[in-house]
Chain A
Amino acid sequence: MHLAQLNVAHLRAPLDSPELADFVDLLEPINELSDAAPGFVWRLKAGDDPRETVDHDYGDHLVINFSVWASREELWNFVYRSAHLPVLQRRREWFLRVAEPYSVMWWIPEGYIPSLAEGMERLELLRREGPTPEAFTFKDFYDAPAGVSASGGSPGAGSVAASLPAAAEVRK
Chain B
Amino acid sequence: MSSDDLGVVAALNDPVRRAVYEYVISQGREVGRNEAAEAAGVQRTLAAFHLDKLVEAGLLEAGFKRLGEKTGPGSGRPAKVYRRAPGEWQVSVPARDYRTLALVLAEAVDLLGGDERAEEAARRAGGRLAERVEPGEELEETLRRRGYEPYEEEGRLRLRNCPFHVLAEQHPLLVCSMNLSLCQGLLEGLGQDPARARLDPRPGECCVSLSINNEN
0/1 per residue, A71-107, Cβ < 8 Å to B? 0000001011111011011000000010000000000
**Are A159 and B199 touching (Cβ within 8 A)?**
no
Using CB atoms, name the residue of chain B closest to A163.
B63
- Tell whether B7 is near chain A: CB-to-CB under 8 Å: no
A–B complex contacts, Cβ < 8 Å, 26 sampled: A77-B203, A79-B172, A80-B172, A80-B207, A81-B203, A81-B204, A83-B201, A85-B172, A85-B176, A86-B199, A89-B173, A89-B199, A97-B113, A159-B30, A159-B65, A160-B30, A160-B61, A160-B63, A160-B65, A160-B81, A160-B83, A163-B63, A164-B61, A166-B61, A167-B61, A170-B86
Also in contact, A85 and B199, with CB within 8 A (given A80-B172, A97-B113): yes
Interface size on B (CB < 8 Å)? 25
Which residues 134-171 in A have Cβ within 8 Å of B in the complex?
139, 159-161, 163-164, 166-167, 170
- Tell whether A172 is near chain B: CB-to-CB under 8 Å: yes
Number of A-B contacts (CB under 8 A): 52
**Chain A: residues with CB nearer than 8 A to chain B?**
77, 79-83, 85-86, 88-89, 97, 139, 159-161, 163-164, 166-167, 170, 172
Also in contact, A80 and B176, with CB within 8 A (given A85-B199, A89-B199): yes
**Are B64 and A163 touching (Cβ within 8 A)?**
yes
Q: Which B residues lie within 8 Å of A139 (CB)?
A: 170
Question: Cα distance A89–B181 when bound, in Å?
Answer: 12
**Are B201 and A85 touching (Cβ within 8 A)?**
yes
- Tell whether B161 is near chain A: CB-to-CB under 8 Å: no
Using CB atoms, name the residue of chain B closest to A160.
B63
